[in-house]
Amino acid sequence: MIRSATPADVPVIHTLIRELAEYEKAAHEARATEEQLREALFGERPAAFAHLAVDDESGECVGFALWFLNFSTWRGVHGVYLEDLFVRPSARGGGHGRALLTELARICVRRGYERLEWSVLNWNSPAIGFYEALGARPQDEWTVYRLTDGALAELGRSAD
C-alpha cells in the first residue's frame, strides 16, 4: 500500500533516510534532523512531499519516496523531481518501488506535469535495471554539478 506521509511519519522517514545513506555508503553526509524534515514536509510552506510504502501484511513502513516540484522552461509546466526512493533490502522485489513510482506518475498525469526525473548513482546497477525496466532512460548528455559546504559559502560571500 502507498500512502501520503503525515507528521507522525517523520521519525520513520528520518530512519529510512539514514538507511538509504548507509546503503549509498554516505551515512556521514546525511545530516538532516527530524525537525528539519518536519518543517520541510509539513511546515507553513512545504518544500517537499513524501509517500510511504507500507507492507500489507505487517503494516510496517518498508520504503519511501521524497519529492518536490521542479519547472521546465521548455515545456512550461511543473514536473516532479524524485530526491529519494528507497525500499528496505528485506522488502525489495515485493513491488513497493514500482508502486511508489506509479503513485508519482499518477500525480504527474493528474496535475498535468510532464516530467518525472531523478538521479541514480552509476554503481547502483540493480536500481538502474529496475528503472530501465519501467521505461525510464538515462539522460547521458547531462552532468550533475553541485556546490556545497566551503565552495558554496565562498561563492555566496563573494557577492558581499
Separation CA 84–CA 116 (nearest Å): 13
Q: Among 23, 81, 113, 131, which one carries the catalytic annotation?
A: 131
Smallest Cα–Cα separation from 34: which of 7, 52, 3? 7
Residue that the C-alpha cell 503513485 belongs to: 103
Specify whether 113 is catalytic. Answer: no
Active site (catalytic) residues: 131
